[in-house]
Structure 1
Amino acid sequence: MSLAFSRAEYSARLEGLCARMTDAGHDALLLFAQESMFWLTGYDTFGYCHFQSMVVTRDGRIVLLTRSADQRQAEITSTVSDIRIWEDRDGASPVLQLRDLLFDLDLDSSRLGVEYDTHGMTGRIAMEIAAHLADFAILSDASLLVPVLRAVKSPAEIEMVRKAAELTDAAYEAAWPLIGPGAREGEILAAMQGTVFAGDGDYPGNEFVIGSGREALLCRYQTGRRTLGAQDQLTLEWAGAFRRYHVAAMRTVVVGEPTSRHRALHETARAALQAVEETMVPGRTFGDLFCAHAAAVDARGEGAHRLNACGYSLGTRFSPSWMDWPMAYRDNPAEIVPDMVVFMHMILMDSDTGTAMSLGQTYLTRDGAPECLSKLPLDLPVKAG
């Protein structure tokens, strides 16, 4: 399997990371986030559920410490040539083996940045790092060093994002003919995910969200399947994924005749999405995006039915979530800059009447107004009963 990008692209990413390390005063980084490793070298695995760490020195050396099961994974999918294996055995401490590796790299008494805020870092690993490395080097939290770089996409990455967007639209278009009275949620899911796979796409960072009836008010996947009735509602949140790059979308489809609450909440969601689009320009912040959404919803008296966040960045992500840094919530100072990929979801859930309404799509930020990456309509989707 070939690399997702050219070696020149990976070299440019490493150069940018080394520059940020120098600015931050790090002699080396201990990467634990799988998306950081994938972005930097192409290394692709789900083995991050076990211990592994990628050491990156300020002068550009990369060493991967992983399990034997992932050795060939790294050899085939990545640019990494120096791969070390920690041995699975009773009582084994991979952190001690990491310490030996750092000693071999002359990094004792150095300043080490550590990615703590990641699903690849368990509490036990953090405790062992504190126990075995605190007296070896000066440790500091470098969790945001790579995410800040990943948030702004290169031209080559944007090509991948556009392919993911095509899969996003195709998945919905495959599901649409199946939606209606008597439709089974499992068949709808199969059509959507199957379309992504047929287009050479990937599993997404988290499950597609599907819920109908009362469960249409949920914005998380849950087990169990339902058959749609003659008068029903169906919430879908899904993402096309291509080479681990995500483009997400969200819709609530009404089966039968929309209620007045469906129409009112949809009008509110459209207004909020438009307000967000107008705000999504360089120089504004992700906190501004949330405030634009909240103001539009609250002005229509629907504030009790919205969430406390309305979107987030997208990119290369691994399980258990496709959500990336930064998120749109109140007072978030993260700045909007060109070439970010941002999913905005207007989620309105009225538990009093049991009415769901969600509307979301993904944008590419530009020097001016953002570009919507989806061609799907924003009208209230209705399937006759």
Structure 2
Amino acid sequence: MSKLDFSTQDFEFRRKRVREAMASAGLDWLVVIHPVSIHWLTGSDAKSYQEFQCLLISAEPGDIIVLTREGERSEFLDDALVDQIWTFGMPEPEDPILLFEKVANSLGLKRARVGMEVPAYYLHPHHYVRMKQFLGEAQVAEPTNLIHDLKLVKSETELKYIREASRIADIAMDAFVKALREGVTELQLAGTVYQALFQNHSGMAASPINLVSGPRAGFSHGAPTDRVLRRGDTGSIEYGAMFKRYTSTIGRQFCLGTPSPRAQELYDVVRRASDACIAEIRHGVPAVVPHLAAKRVIDDAGLGRGRVHTTGYGLAPGFPPTWGEPLHMLGDSTYTLQAGMVITVEPPVFIGDEFLGARIIDNVLVTQNGAELLSRFSRDLIVID
């Protein structure tokens, strides 16, 4: 994504909403750390989150200020909608927190009420401790989900990009099925999927492909290996497609030859659980309700011990290592579904000591009256004779 993927008015509207949310929370300034938050407010795709990166936004109209590596300056200038760029590391290593302190002092942050995002993966503990010590009593909150919650409901343009990512994901799954046979390796199949994704204009997804088969079929998240597929193998595949940073995910179950009765049983239970989950999804429903519907199906089948993963979650414009949003369909969820949200549906059963598992992954758009499946690819068990 870049600033050209959305209108200036889109970005202005997003910033207005953030400033209103900050004012409601009693904040003068917000230190934005999560690359998805920075991306949503500026269009930036820059990779400085690997080291240190933050955006400073005031509750009052004013400049959007970014602190990033010098190596990302040109990308911010060309692709991001920002007003000030401060950089570190030119060309030798430089302490980014000293730059943060300099900029924060110039803006009077220590005399203000400051909130700071503290996202997993993207803020080094040492940086966090020093920023917290520097801000002292000025830091009054850690509203990590303030921006994420504002962006859960997608705009029409965002939905257009997600639909395109879903279309690309379907094309790649079709390529996978055509390549699936005895004698190929998991890695060769993964290569087929990636080739189809990239040839059809997917960007690099935030999380790598999961592909397991045979004795590895009980792994809930397994990277492909050089294992050669054999007749009688069951397995699963999951990956994401990305279009202008917006993600669509898909997962399917497969078998080389007739599935065993137990493998068929697991698939059937997961399919019923997924259907039960989707049937409960609509505007105004607490996110825990679809989860409980899926959970009941799996538990009633005596397979509760294999329910080792969330029932589903919100989909963000992904940055490594994840494409997930804070919204989860789990027993402790406090979220309520709203029309315009895009969520995954993937209640699983994985039983490691049986070397078996099943998970069907689909994305749905929450509507006023139900859920729209975004993938057009068959949800049936893939059986290769």
For the aligned pair, the TM-score class normalised by the smaller chain equals over 0.9
SS in 2 for 1:139: strand
Q: How many residues align?
A: 383
Partner residue in 1 for 2:256 = 255
Partner residue in 1 for 2:315 = 314
- Distance in 1 separating the partners of 2:170 and 2:155: 23
Q: 1:184-333 alignment to 2 at 5 Å?
A: 184-222=185-223, 224-333=225-334
Answer yes or no: is the 8 Å Cα contact 1:314–1:341 preserved in 2. yes
Partner residue in 1 for 2:104 = 102
SS in 1 for 2:236: strand
- Distance in 2 separating the partners of 1:36 and 1:219: 29
Deviations 1:336-360 (A, max 9, x none): 0111110111211133432222111
Q: 1:61-210 alignment to 2 at 5 Å?
A: 61-87=63-89, 92-134=94-136, 137-210=138-211
Partner residue in 2 for 1:335 = 336
SS in 2 for 1:127: helix
- Distance in 1 separating the partners of 2:40 and 2:256: 41
Answer yes or no: is the 8 Å Cα contact 2:207–2:240 preserved in 1. no
| Structure 2 counterpart of 1:104, one-letter code | S
SS in 1 for 2:319: coil
- Distance in 2 separating the partners of 1:326 and 1:179: 34
Answer yes or no: is the 8 Å Cα contact 2:187–2:225 preserved in 1. no
TM-score of the pair, normalised by structure 2 = 0.95
RMSD (CA atoms): 1.7
Answer yes or no: is the 8 Å Cα contact 2:132–2:139 preserved in 1. no
Cα deviation for residue 87 of structure 1 reads 3.7
SS in 2 for 1:64: strand
SS in 2 for 1:249: strand
- Distance in 2 separating the partners of 1:348 and 1:326: 21
Aligned-residue identity in percent:
23
| Structure 2 counterpart of 1:182, one-letter code | G
TM-score of the pair, normalised by structure 1 = 0.95
Cα distance, 1:150–1:43 mapped onto 2, change above 3 Å: same
| Structure 1 counterpart of 2:269, one-letter code | T
- Distance in 2 separating the partners of 1:172 and 1:204: 15
- Distance in 1 separating the partners of 2:59 and 2:372: 36
Answer yes or no: is the 8 Å Cα contact 1:169–1:374 preserved in 2. yes
Cα distance, 1:223–1:46 mapped onto 2, change above 3 Å: farther
Deviations 1:20-44 (A, max 9, x none): 1111111111011001011111011
Partner residue in 2 for 1:370 = 371
Q: 1:53-68 alignment to 2 at 5 Å?
A: 53-60=54-61, 61-68=63-70
Answer yes or no: is the 8 Å Cα contact 1:37–1:54 preserved in 2. yes
Cα deviation for residue 256 of structure 1 reads 1.1
Cα deviation for residue 88 of structure 1 reads 5.4
Answer yes or no: is the 8 Å Cα contact 2:185–2:225 preserved in 1. no
Partner residue in 2 for 1:39 = 40
Cα deviation for residue 262 of structure 1 reads 1.5
- Distance in 2 separating the partners of 1:51 and 1:223: 31
| Structure 1 counterpart of 2:262, one-letter code | R
Q: Unaligned regions of 5+ residues in structure 2, if any? A: none
SS in 2 for 1:254: strand
Answer yes or no: is the 8 Å Cα contact 2:202–2:243 preserved in 1. yes
Partner residue in 1 for 2:53 = 52
Deviates more, 1:300-309 or 1:311-320: 300-309
- Distance in 2 separating the partners of 1:225 and 1:25: 55
Answer yes or no: is the 8 Å Cα contact 2:209–2:224 preserved in 1. no
Cα deviation for residue 316 of structure 1 reads 0.5
- Distance in 2 separating the partners of 1:87 and 1:46: 14
Q: Unaligned regions of 5+ residues in structure 1, if any? A: none
Answer yes or no: is the 8 Å Cα contact 1:210–1:236 preserved in 2. yes
Deviations 1:213-260 (A, max 9, x none): 122221224363211001111210111111111111111101111110
- Distance in 2 separating the partners of 1:319 and 1:221: 17
Answer yes or no: is the 8 Å Cα contact 2:210–2:224 preserved in 1. no
Cα deviation for residue 308 of structure 1 reads 4.8
